[in-house]
Structure formats: C-alpha cells, structure tokens
Amino acid sequence: MSSSEQTEASQAATTWVARQPIVDRAGRLVAYELLFRDGPGPGANIHDGFGCTAEVVERTVGALGIEAVLDGLDGYLNCTADFLHSSVTQILGGRRFVLEVLETCELDNQLKKRCALLRAAGFRIALDDVLHITPDIEAFLPVVDIVKLEWPAIEAGRAKTVVRDLKRTGKVVVAEKVDDRQQLQAAIDSGCDMVQGFYFSRPELMQARRMVPDLGQVLEVLNLLIDDACDHRIIRALSTMPVLVAQLLRLANCPGTANQKRTAISSLHHALAAAGTTRLFQWCSLLLYNHGDFDIVSRDPLIALATQRASLMLRLALLQRPAGTAFAQTAYLTGMLSLLHVSYAREQAEFAQELPLEQSIRAALTGRSGELGELLAVAESYESGPHGKARERKADACVASPFVGSTMEQGIRTSPSRECLSYA
C-alpha cells in the first residue's frame, strides 16, 4: 500500500469534531461551539446542514464522549430548521446545549413554536450571525435566550445601540468573529456578555476512531423497539454488539436521561434503564441516517473477541456464584468492555473513566483487581493460549482464586445458552 493509500485509509477510520472557545468579559472560558469537520484540515465541506449537525451529535456523544468534548462547559450547535424540528435534539438533553438558529432559517410561527418547546425541555436558543434587529428577529426574540452578533459587519456607530436594545429585552449578547484586540475592546465597551473568534483561538480539532456498529444489528434493535419488545429481547440483541453498548453507556451519561444522579452502571439491563428505550431508538435512527451504506461498519476482530470474552466471563461467574445473577450480569459487561479501548485507540483507564461504570468494573478493567479482575485475567490467559507467559498468568490466576481456576475449563466447555444470555 502506498503512503497516499495509507493516509486515505487512516482518514477513513477517523472521525473529527472541532470546537471553538467562547469566553466571558473577563476572558474566562465558558462554552465551546461544536463544528463539523470532514478531515484533518481547518475547513469543512458543508454539503447538508442537517446531516453535518447530525454527524456532530453522533461523534460528540458516541465517539468522543460529551464530557471529553465539553469538559464541563456548555456546547453550542449550528442548527437548520429541519434539525430543530427533528427528534435528534432529544438525544442531547437540554441542560448543556445551546441550539443556534442559523441565519438561513425562516423565522416563522412554526419554528417559533418549536423553539418554545425546546426551551421548555431545557435547551437555550441562540440566533446566529445577526447584523441588525429586523422585524422578523424582533418578533422571534421571545423564544430566544442568546443573540450572536457578527461583530466585524456591524457599523461601529450603532454597535452600542444594538447591544443595549438586546440586553433591555433580557438577552445574552455574544460578539462573534472577533479577530483582533481592537474588535475585542469594542465588544466589551459596547456591553457584550461573551466573545468568540480567532483572537482567542481557532477551532481546535478533536479526533477519535470511527466506530460504527453493524447496521444490520442496529436495524434489528430498532425493529424490536418499534415492536415494543420486552427488555430481555432488547438486551439479548445488544449482548452481541459491544460498540453499540459503549455508545449506550455514553447515552446514559447525557443530560436528560433517567440517570440524572449519574448512578454507576453494572449491567446491560442497568444501562438500558439509565439511557431509556426512547433515547436508544433515537440513537439507532441517527446511526442509520448517518451511515446509509450497510457495508460501512467497524470490522475490527477485537469486537468479536470482546463478545466471546463476555460470554466466557458470564459462564465462569455463574459457575463461581450459581445464584449470583447480578454478578454474572456485571461480569458480562466487564468482558464486553475490556477490549474496546483498543478499538477506540484510547488508554484503558481513560476509556473506563469516561463511562458511568460501577467501581468494581472500573477496577477490573484498569487494574485487574477484585473478583471481576480475576475472571478477566483468566479469560485473557485462556485467549492467549497454553504457551509461555500466558500459562504463567493462568497459573497465577488459579492460585489467587482456586475455585475460578478449577472451574475454568468447565466454563469453557459449557456452550452459551439462551438463559445465560438473558443475564447479560
């Protein structure tokens, strides 16, 4: 393979989001605007406004993780009218996100009513690239929280008046496209609350491995949700989809889920309950929209190995604790997650920390400690084969936990059953 082909293959396996800082009057970082990128370069080919924002949502939530992208701050999203009317917004939850109504949107009554509903759901609404207050904008202001002024294009003589009039209506005013010290000082003197532009920072590129679940399996889960299938059937489908499970855990971390207290998750049942079936339905729909080609999936052999490891750990857990259904569920989830950090090109400790996992799972993944850590070490030894250091690790695990060691071969010989998978 030539160097150009290698570069093209590497880029095809990578996904990007850019974020540009928004600062307050004192220069403190308060938010990021999230921007679509289709490659490692500074710009982007915005071919479809709805699709580009949908891609940003998928990448922020599913590939990078909201906390990794926003670092505890607010996120601003560019939104077409179609996006604002869609259900994709429900994936995000309102508390952390500002939805920017693009200047190309028609500010009609239908969009006004929709923005009122989004505000009631917790989102804040911003008007983007405003130059002056037109009658249409003035009529739309009751459903707006933030107005972003295209600062360089506003005449200096009327800048203060525009800012003053907006602030009298209770709006937060952001001066955007501020590229030098003079523009910054003018924005501050005019009373702007926040500032954004190249003077502070160009958009920072963030990247992650492009992980797409098997879309045939995603469609299967979607059909189960449409048919209002019981949780056990949905869990059984999810039990062979490590990538979608990792994304489900990230969904459970989003604002607006049932997991408001960020309860640590210990099983697939728990993850589904925390994220909710409605949000999982919206997520699967988003995946199918963003990836119409069913051949574009993550063909990583580690994904299959993760599922096999999860099944082995479940069987061993049931042998060790025949009545320990909860422990078996936790063991299955531990095995499923134990290889995904490699697929995502992340350190295991970093990957585990990003997910709302029970401490026993995190300890097993990062330090191979505790009962789950012993089971994981045994599973890894078995996969490595009977030679060399693998045999030594297996022996160590057997010494540390004699019962695990004595039942390992029995667990391996036991074929996975429908009943076992229902524990996942």
User: What span, in angstroms and rounded, lies between the C-alpha atoms of 319 and 259?
Assistant: 31
Residues 6+ positions from 203 with CB-CB distance below 8 Å? 18, 19, 20, 33, 35, 42
Token digits of residue 274: 């925390």
At residue 400, does pLDDT exceed 50?
Answer: no
Q: 69 near 34, Cβ under 8 Å?
A: yes
User: What span, in angstroms and rounded, lies between the C-alpha atoms of 104 and 315?
Assistant: 57
Q: Which domains does the chain have, with CATH numbers?
A: 3-208 (3.20.20.450), 215-422 (1.10.3210)
278 CB neighbour count, 10 Å cutoff: 13
pLDDT digits (tens, 9 = 90+) for 112-154: 999 999 999 999 999 999 998 999 999 999 999 999 999 999 9
At residue 269, does pLDDT exceed 50?
Answer: yes
User: What span, in angstroms and rounded, lies between the C-alpha atoms of 322 and 355?
Assistant: 28
User: What span, in angstroms and rounded, lies between the C-alpha atoms of 108 and 100?
Assistant: 16
Count of positions (residues) in the chain = 424
Q: pLDDT grade, residue 388 (50/70/90)?
A: very low
User: What span, in angstroms and rounded, lies between the C-alpha atoms of 340 and 128?
Assistant: 38
Residues 6+ positions from 247 with CB-CB distance below 8 Å? 61, 62, 213, 283
Token digits of residue 295: 């051949």
The closest alpha carbon to 286, from 94, 87, 121, belongs to: 87
User: What span, in angstroms and rounded, lies between the C-alpha atoms of 260 and 187?
Assistant: 38
Token digits of residue 264: 């640590």
Residues paired with 130 in a beta bridge? 149
**Interstrand relation of 14-24 and 204-209 (parallel, antiparallel or unpaired):** antiparallel
Q: pLDDT grade, residue 298 (50/70/90)?
A: low
Q: 107 near 136, Cβ under 8 Å?
A: yes
pTM for the predicted model, two decimal places:
0.84
Of 223 and 343, more confident:
223
At residue 418, does pLDDT exceed 70?
Answer: no
User: What span, in angstroms and rounded, lies between the C-alpha atoms of 333 and 200?
Assistant: 43
